């Protein structure tokens, strides 16, 4: 009870996210559901009435992070028996029974396809005790994308939009198909409706999300190809495909880029993560021709050795990868390219690694996410233990790879000195509150001082004056557009 007005004190929640942007977006939806149920954000995880841990299982230490956090929360729950704990996400999908065996103080375990049920499951657990709910079968569009879920976005000017879930590839190192299922694409019309609504709420930048984002729509057009033409085809697959008498099964991603980029109010369109084998000429053309689509391509290489790529089941050679990259750079002006790389995949020899260094040097990346291979139970690569690369060898290779990447990254950044960049303000710098941080269309971080405080979501021109490996520095030249979203006043519990 609030002593000031006699009203019941709202229950509080905290959501902690491990993993990728898909998990971050799922967390936004869980937070939205909790707030729709009357909860408000807590000051900290320890004081929250409901704690949600949205997990990832891609990396080796993901389970260590989860169980370490659950151990800490066990003590907090002993002090506050009313605390409720929810574990969701990919690790929950994979280890559903193990989680409640190792942490019986968890109230709800829910899978990757049960996000929309988070509040219902909490209510049910209060009546019947701890429970686990996991959906494993292949979902259709309506089941995979429940409509009208509330979302609590942390950033007002930018939003994630999930266009597809699941993955039909079988990369030897990846657990995603096992925990996210087969590819299911969302209907074209629903996606455009969501982006229109976001734009009406002041969002100017959207990031299209999918496990294999550039294969979006292939499942829809394959299904429609076998059916009689219908008035619903334009809603499901867009007007470009439904108006084509050939009705060819094909991805719809390029069509989607064009349609989203044409919507009023949307200044920037980004996407992640594509697969190199599905980077098609029409996608490159859409990136070049649609003003709103940003000049940034994240194209995961993973390895530069054809032998390792074949063992990974990546579906391309190093030569084919570089050809696609060259086609993108030749077509899209001022394109920044980033990538993912795995060091020490089972069986990787010194010669294999040298080939990776050669491809990385030729690709001249702006930056990269680099990882030392970690076996994930349930993947093909986890069963290759006899071919595991010694850890000290992998670490040494990792350091050599980072040195090559750093050289190209610094060179790419220095080339931008003297240029005026369009940036969108993301807020004050973490190290110096008098300095603002913004992001260019190429997804590069820029730090610059400003005599006036600029709200997040402000677009401005900034002159680049200096460059470091992972950021740029600059001077504010002019404000281009101020945000139209409403300033949100945080609700403080108690």
3-state SS of the chain is: CCCCCCCCCCCEEEEEECCCHHHHHHHHHHHHHHHHCCCEECCCHHHCCEEEEEECCCCCCHHHHHHHHHHHHHHHHHHCCCCEEEEEEHHHHHCHHHHHHHCCCCCEEECCCCHHHHHHHHHHHHHHCCEEECCCCCCCHHHHCCCCCCCCCCCCCEEEEECEECCCCCCCCCCHHHHHCCCEECCHHHHHHHHHHHHHCCCCEEEEECCCHHHCCHHHHHHHHCCCCCCCHHHHHHHHHHCCCCCCCCCCHHHHHHHHHCCCCCCEEEEECCCHHHCCHHHHHHHHHCCCECCEEECCCECCCHHHHHHHCCCCCHHHHHHHHHHHHHHCCCCEEEEEEEECCCCCCHHHHHHHHHHHHHHCCCEEEEEECCCCCCCCHHHCHHHCCCHHHHHHHHHHHHHHHHHHHHHHHHCCCCCEEEEEEEEECCCCCCEEEEEECCCCEEEEECCCCCCCCCEEEEEEEEECCCCEEEEEEEEEECCCCCCCCCCCCC
The pLDDT tens digits of the residues spanning 324-347 come to 999 999 999 999 999 999 999 999
On the question of pLDDT at 136 being above 70, the answer is no
Provide the pLDDT confidence category of residue 141 given band limits of 50, 70 and 90: low
Q: Token pair for residue 21?
A: 């942007």
The pLDDT tens digits of the residues spanning 183-242 come to 999 999 999 999 999 999 999 999 999 989 999 999 999 999 989 999 999 999 999 999
Counting residues of the chain whose pLDDT is more than 70, the rounded percentage is 92
The pLDDT tens digits of the residues spanning 252-293 come to 999 999 999 999 999 999 999 899 999 999 999 999 999 999
The pLDDT tens digits of the residues spanning 375-431 come to 888 899 999 999 999 999 999 999 999 999 999 999 999 999 999 999 999 999 888
Provide the pLDDT confidence category of residue 7 given band limits of 50, 70 and 90: low
pLDDT of residue 321: 98
Q: What is the spatial distance between Cα 196 and Cα 194, in angstroms, rounded to a whole number?
A: 5
Provide the pLDDT confidence category of residue 459 given band limits of 50, 70 and 90: very high
Provide the pLDDT confidence category of residue 488 given band limits of 50, 70 and 90: very low
Provide the pLDDT confidence category of residue 45 given band limits of 50, 70 and 90: confident
On the question of pLDDT at 36 being above 70, the answer is yes
User: What would the mean pLDDT of 462-479 be, rounded to a whole number?
Assistant: 96
User: What would the mean pLDDT of 302-319 be, rounded to a whole number?
Assistant: 98
β-sheet bridge partners, residue 424: 439, 459
Provide the pLDDT confidence category of residue 135 given band limits of 50, 70 and 90: low
On the question of pLDDT at 139 being above 60, the answer is no
Q: Give the residue among 48, 53, 57, 190 at the shortest CA–CA distance from 118.
A: 53
pLDDT of residue 176: 79
User: What would the mean pLDDT of 59-81 be, rounded to a whole number?
Assistant: 83
On the question of pLDDT at 452 being above 80, the answer is yes
pLDDT of residue 420: 98
- Asked if 476 and 464 touch (Cβ cutoff 8 Å), the reply is no
Provide the pLDDT confidence category of residue 152 given band limits of 50, 70 and 90: confident
The pLDDT tens digits of the residues spanning 102-118 come to 989 999 998 877 888 88
Residue 490's alpha-carbon distances to 26, 41, 156, 232, 259, in angstroms, are 21, 9, 13, 42, 34
What rounded mean pLDDT belongs to the chain? 90
Domains of the chain, first to last = 12-133 (3.40.50.12160), 155-294 (3.30.750.210), 297-415 (3.30.750.200), 420-481 (2.40.50.140)
Higher pLDDT, 131 or 169: 169
pLDDT of residue 489: 38
On the question of pLDDT at 3 being above 50, the answer is no
pLDDT of residue 406: 96
> Annotated binding residues, as ranges?
20, 56, 90, 167, 171, 174
> Annotated binding residues for [4Fe-4S] cluster, as ranges?
20, 56, 90, 167, 171, 174
On the question of pLDDT at 490 being above 50, the answer is no
On the question of pLDDT at 492 being above 50, the answer is no
On the question of pLDDT at 438 being above 80, the answer is yes
pLDDT of residue 390: 97
Burial profile 228-249: b = 16 or more Cβ within 10 angstroms, e = fewer: eeeeebebbbbeebbeeeebee
């Amino acid at each position: 009870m609030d002593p000031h007005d006699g009203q019941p004190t709202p229950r509080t929640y905290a959501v902690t996210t491990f993993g990728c942007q898909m998990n971050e977006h799922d967390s936004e939806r869980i937070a939205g559901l909790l707030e729709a149920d009357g909860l408000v954000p807590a000051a900290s995880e320890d004081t929250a009435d409901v704690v949600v841990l949205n997990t990832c299982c891609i990396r080796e230490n993901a389970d260590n992070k989860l169980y370490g956090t659950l151990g800490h929360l066990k003590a907090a729950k002993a002090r506050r028996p009313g605390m409720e704990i929810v574990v969701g996400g990919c690790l929950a999908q994979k280890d559903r029974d193990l989680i409640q065996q190792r942490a019986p103080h968890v109230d709800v375990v829910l899978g990757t396809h049960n996000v929309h049920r988070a509040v219902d499951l909490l209510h049910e657990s209060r009546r019947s005790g701890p429970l686990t709910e996991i959906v494993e079968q292949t979902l259709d569009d309506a089941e995979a994308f429940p409509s009208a879920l509330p979302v609590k976005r942390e950033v007002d000017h930018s939003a994630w939009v999930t266009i597809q879930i699941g993955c039909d590839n079988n990369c030897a190192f990846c657990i995603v198909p096992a925990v996210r299922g087969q590819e299911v694409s969302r209907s074209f019309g629903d996606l455009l409706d969501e982006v229109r609504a976001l734009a009406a709420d002041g969002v100017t930048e959207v990031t299209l999300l999918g496990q294999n984002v550039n294969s979006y729509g292939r499942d829809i057009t394959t299904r429609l190809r076998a059916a009689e033409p219908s008035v619903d085809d334009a809603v499901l697959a867009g007007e470009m495909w439904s108006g084509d008498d050939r009705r060819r099964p094909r991805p719809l991603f390029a069509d989607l880029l064009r349609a989203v980029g044409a919507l009023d109010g949307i200044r920037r369109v980004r996407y992640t993560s594509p697969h190199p084998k599905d980077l098609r000429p029409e996608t490159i053309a859409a990136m070049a021709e649609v003003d709103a689509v940003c000049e940034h391509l994240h194209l995961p290489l993973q390895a530069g050795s054809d032998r390792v790529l074949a063992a990974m089941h990546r579906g391309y050679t190093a030569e084919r990868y570089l050809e696609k990259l060259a086609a993108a750079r030749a077509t899209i002006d001022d394109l920044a390219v980033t990538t993912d790389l795995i060091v020490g995949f089972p069986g990787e020899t010194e010669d294999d690694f040298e080939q990776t260094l050669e491809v990385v040097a030729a690709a001249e990346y702006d930056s990269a996410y680099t990882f030392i291979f970690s076996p994930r139970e349930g993947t093909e690569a986890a069963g290759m233990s006899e071919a595991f690369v010694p850890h000290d060898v992998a670490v040494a290779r990792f350091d050599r790879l980072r040195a090559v990447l750093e050289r190209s990254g610094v060179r790419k950044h220095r080339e931008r000195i003297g240029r005026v960049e369009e940036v969108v303000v993301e807020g004050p710098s973490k190290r110096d509150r008098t300095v603002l941080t913004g992001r260019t269309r190429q997804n590069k971080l820029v730090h610059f001082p400003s005599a006036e405080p600029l709200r997040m979501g402000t677009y401005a021109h900034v002159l680049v004056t200096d460059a470091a490996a992972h950021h740029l520095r600059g001077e504010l030249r002019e404000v281009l557009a101020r945000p139209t979203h409403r300033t949100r006043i945080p609700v403080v519990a108690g």
